[in-house]
Structure 1
Amino acid sequence: MYRFLLTPRWLALHVVVLLVIPAFVFLGRWQFGRFEERSTSSHQTTANLSAAPVPVETLTAPGGGVPAKDRYRSVTVKGTFDATHQLLVRRRVQDSVVGFYVLTPLETGEGRGVLVNRGWVKAGATADASPEVPPPSTGEVTVTGRLQPSETEESSGIRDRKGLPPGQVLLINTEAIGRGLPYKLLGGYVDLTAQSPQAAAAPAPVPAPDVGGGGGLNLAYGVQWWLFIGIAVGGWALLIRREAADLRAEAVKKEQAEPVDA
């Protein structure tokens, strides 16, 4: 009755099912891995955002970097803004509007400094037009902000290029920007969240990151892929039973149609 399972059509179906099952297993495991990764990252980001501020020098140093575990960590730094080396970072979107980040070095003394992202300003009339930028405060200030790693093309997805208007960059790359400064930069940069004394006018603050659901969608997708395994196996078994039932019905019909010997 089940010899039909060895026909070419059914053998092809067996192969498809045997290929689909491990593929769905792999996709499910990949989504579960992404869930764990994003959940860990979400918990770390939440903890860093709520942690008490620490001096920036305790987390980064000149020529160093910012580990992933310290991203968004609240830090403080004291110094004076270097307005002569201020830069505008192009193609930064905030509230669905394209504009610039205002990147101002903060000299901390002893031949050191740190890049401070003072916030966002709307773009000018044209792509190359200079926007209106509130000047940085003069005198010594204490900045509080979120520590960020230096940007690269790989980490940001932004392709760097030359030929930009003077004073504009595409990436907040500490190493590249530091080559044009008379002091050494600490690794990474700081998104300003507070300043003392307060500035008379300032760019729009960069919003805190959206922690989101911590990979909840990845968990749902992982469960979905593994449910597809059950659907594939169940559908395969259902087709076999249906084919076998049809063959039995045909056999019974054939027997009933045969003449009975007197």
Structure 2
Amino acid sequence: MYRFLLSRRWLVTVLIALLLIPATVRLGFWQLHRHEARVARNELIARSLTAPPVAFDSLTAPGRAVPKDLTWRAVTATGSYDTAHEFVVRKRTDAGGDNIGYFVITPLRLADGQGEVLVNRGWVASGASATVYPDVPAAPAGDVTVTGRMRADETAAGSGIRDRGGLPDRQFNLINSAQQAGRSGAAVLPGYLELTATAPAPASQPELLPEPNHSDIGPHMAYAVQWWLFTAMIPVGVWVLVRREARDRAKEAAEAVVAAGAGPEPVPAA
């Protein structure tokens, strides 16, 4: 009854089904791992943002990258801004994500003499021309204490942003302490501070960056469940197709028997 399963068409169908099962199981686990990574990231951000601020230079040191578990940590630093080496980072969006402009990065010369910290003071709009340095609110003069979020250096590999040269003066594509240390000759600590508050408060400043979203877990768990449901449906679907073909073949065989049993129509007598 099921000899048709040995046909080439059905052997190919079953083979494809057998290959799809481990593939869809793997895709489900891939989405599960993405879900777990998203949850872990959210938990890290939530812990970091609610922890009491610590000194920026207590978490980083020359030649040492910012550890992943310290990103978003609330940090503080005291010193004076090195406005001579201020720069902007191109093609960055505002808090709403609708407008493209620049991040304003101003090095802060630490009062304890441990070096300089890159401070992302916030976002400003693009000017009339991308070749002209934008209008930037002046950094506060004198000693200030800044509070913000610890961030790791941006790299082309990590951000996906192409770090091409030939840009206008004081414009860059990445926030990278090593790059700026080479430019200014100063001892710039790895990582940077994403500003949230300044004391004393300045009269004007760039638009501060919003707190990262750490409540959205994304659709990855739903996608994982969908892949596993699809996995379960593969053998069920194959079995349904097999049963349907077996039933159709049985029906055709029965109709052939009936047709053969009826015999030829009788010839009328002369």
TM-score tier after normalising by the smaller chain length: over 0.9
Could you tell me which of 84, 97, 103 is aligned with 2:105? 103
**One-letter amino acid of the counterpart of residue 191, structure 2:** G
Q: How does 1:18-29 map to 2 (within 5 A)?
A: 18-29=18-29
Specify the SS of the correspondent of 2:103: strand
Specify the SS of the correspondent of 2:219: helix
Deviations 1:121-180 (A, max 9, x none): 001001112211110101111000001001110111111122211111111110010123
CA distance, structure 2, for counterparts of residue 87 and residue 111 of structure 1 = 21
Is residue 127–residue 135 contact of structure 2 (8 Å, CA) maintained in 1? yes
Is residue 88–residue 168 contact of structure 1 (8 Å, CA) maintained in 2? yes
RMSD: 1.5
User: Bigger CA drift: 219-228 or 109-118?
Assistant: 109-118
Query: 5+ unaligned residues in a row in structure 1: which ranges?
Result: none
* Aligned residue number for residue 210 of structure 2: 207
Is residue 133–residue 170 contact of structure 2 (8 Å, CA) maintained in 1? no
Output the TM-score relative to the length of structure 2.
0.92
Q: CA deviation at 1:111?
A: 5.2
* Aligned residue number for residue 126 of structure 1: 129
Q: CA deviation at 1:98?
A: 1.0
* Aligned residue number for residue 221 of structure 2: 219
CA distance, structure 2, for counterparts of residue 130 and residue 16 of structure 1 = 59
Specify the SS of the correspondent of 2:35: helix
Could you tell me which of 125, 136, 140 is aligned with 2:139? 136
Query: 5+ unaligned residues in a row in structure 2: which ranges?
Result: 264-270
* Aligned residue number for residue 113 of structure 1: 116
Deviations 1:22-70 (A, max 9, x none): 1111111111111111111111112111211111122111232111111
Q: Confirm or deny that 1:239 pairs with 2:241.
A: yes
Is residue 63–residue 185 contact of structure 1 (8 Å, CA) maintained in 2? no
Q: CA deviation at 1:182?
A: 4.4
CA distance, structure 1, for counterparts of residue 215 and residue 101 of structure 2 = 24
Specify the SS of the correspondent of 2:11: helix
CA distance, structure 2, for counterparts of residue 152 and residue 54 of structure 1 = 25
Q: How does 1:1-262 map to 2 (within 5 A)?
A: 1-94=1-94, 95=96, 96-109=98-111, 110=113, 112-214=115-217, 216-259=218-261
Identical positions, percent: 43
Runs of 4 or more, structure 1, over 3 Å off, are: none
Q: CA deviation at 1:89?
A: 1.1
CA distance, structure 1, for counterparts of residue 38 and residue 100 of structure 2 = 28
Specify the SS of the correspondent of 1:114: strand
Q: CA deviation at 1:260?
A: 7.5
